[in-house]
Structure 1
Amino acid sequence: MADTALTAQSRSPLAHAADRLAAATRSSGGVVRLAELPFLAQVNIRLDAKGAAADAVGLALGLPLPLEPETVVRAGELTALWLGPDEWLVVGPPGTQRDLERRIRSAAGDEPVSVTDVSAQRTTVLVAGPRARDLLSHGCSLDLHPRAFGPGRCAQTNLARTQVVLVARDQPRAGFWVLVRSSFAGYLTDWLLDAAAEYI
């Protein structure tokens, strides 16, 4: 298994774009806020949602795995995203992926479970501000109106022809997380900056 521990030399997929994202946020006067949230721990879980392991894993993590499609459960610094009937993504603070894996495997015991650290596979882009929904709607076919995709919702979808996991954050004015594969992060950032030009 690859070592995903953070080192002093770790460089996020969007480190080269940090100044451009910050400049766009400043120029928009806060109407749109763009930033990378690098190195978040991301652990994919596959197990039987109706089995004993699901409840045990929820207890070990301190949050239940969401059972309603395309919903999010958040407790403390952890967020669990429903990705499918037997699949979830647990997102936590940078550097916690090994601890999360250990806790999940230990809780599952002998029950069949798949636990995969995908932290290095994706990065996270924060899209926030009063025009965040409008900006994302330029390249996403989902209905992003708050009635259809309000706080606590998530979806695997395409944004600007890039596969992403889109998360409507549950705190007031927290905006959206866009979880994107690292290899497509630069392209998506360029698209977001271009689409945000009308608000700058």
Structure 2
Amino acid sequence: MTADSTTLTTSMDVLEPLRAAPARHLADLMEGAAVTGARAVTLREHEFAVQIGLRAVPGEQGATALESVLGVPLPTAHGEVTGDLDGLHVLRLSPDEFLAVDVSRRQEPGVEAPYQEALEEGVPGQAVDLSANRTVLVLEGPGAREVLEKSVALDLHPREFGVGRAEATLLSTIPVVLVRSGEQTWRILPRASFADHLVRWLVDGMTELGSACPEEESAQRSVRPAQHA
């Protein structure tokens, strides 16, 4: 181990306890908002996931170089995600812009280095550590889709938005990347500065699911009180 790496390790040991994820101060709010029953849903923050912004044109030299490090191809279709949704996977944000996300690792200095090294001098492409740019919120449970449908102008039905699909969209007025990572699990990636507002918005939407389902509420309202002579 070199002196530089030793210094870096020591610095991380000191700084790691001081790191604060964008929505950590709302952890109790999210936990308290959990809904149980048939429309159960929970919300939590997945802290410090690795996020590397990549630029390359699929099929060209830069893309090939990045794929050699990723171990998976870059997505070529709109909404496509490649890789392991429980580990390293790649989202397509535009025809030549991608986001590599690794939810099995915590971000640390230098995570982008292997990708940058693959882009040798003269090889077109870009790799930037964007881990602090967005956070990852996880909305999970049978009621998760219902919460999202209140604020997302997308068809979230499984026939259109299946597991392994990702879209850049608006949740309310907040730009996010929405990823369906499981049958009842959705990851929402907002900019860090919007995390507080978005958590409170989602919690508000979750609160409504704690009441009776819409059909039961409608039936209850339609029952007239007995008339007494």
Instruction: State whether TM-score is above 0.5.
Output: yes
After superposition, residues 1-200 of structure 1 pair within 5 angstroms as 7-25=16-34, 27-29=35-37, 31-75=40-84, 77-92=87-102, 93-96=105-108, 98-99=110-111, 101-110=112-121, 111-169=123-181, 171-173=182-184, 175-200=185-210
TM-score, normalising length from structure 2?
A: 0.79
TM-score, normalising length from structure 1?
A: 0.89
Q: Any gaps of 5 or more consecutive residues in structure 1?
A: none
1:12 to 1:167, Cα distance in 2 relative to 1, 3 A: same
Give the letter aligned to residue 202 of structure 2: L
Give the letter aligned to residue 155 of structure 1: E
The alpha-carbon deviation at position 115 of structure 1 amounts to 1.5
Q: Is the Cα contact below 8 Å between 1:61 and 1:103 reproduced in 2?
A: no
Distance 1:185 1:97 in 2: 23
The alpha-carbon deviation at position 74 of structure 1 amounts to 2.1
- From the CA coordinates, give the structure whose radius of gyration is larger: 2
Size of the aligned set, in residue pairs, is: 193
Distance 2:196 2:55 in 1: 29
Q: Is the Cα contact below 8 Å between 1:105 and 1:115 reproduced in 2?
A: yes
1:96 to 1:68, Cα distance in 2 relative to 1, 3 A: farther
Give the letter aligned to residue 79 of structure 1: H
| Identity level (%) | 35
The alpha-carbon deviation at position 97 of structure 1 amounts to 6.3
Distance 1:187 1:134 in 2: 19
1:156 to 1:81, Cα distance in 2 relative to 1, 3 A: same
Distance 2:153 2:20 in 1: 32
Give the letter aligned to residue 133 of structure 1: R
Give the letter aligned to residue 51 of structure 1: E
The alpha-carbon deviation at position 65 of structure 1 amounts to 1.1
Q: Any gaps of 5 or more consecutive residues in structure 2?
A: 1-7, 211-229
Distance 2:59 2:99 in 1: 17
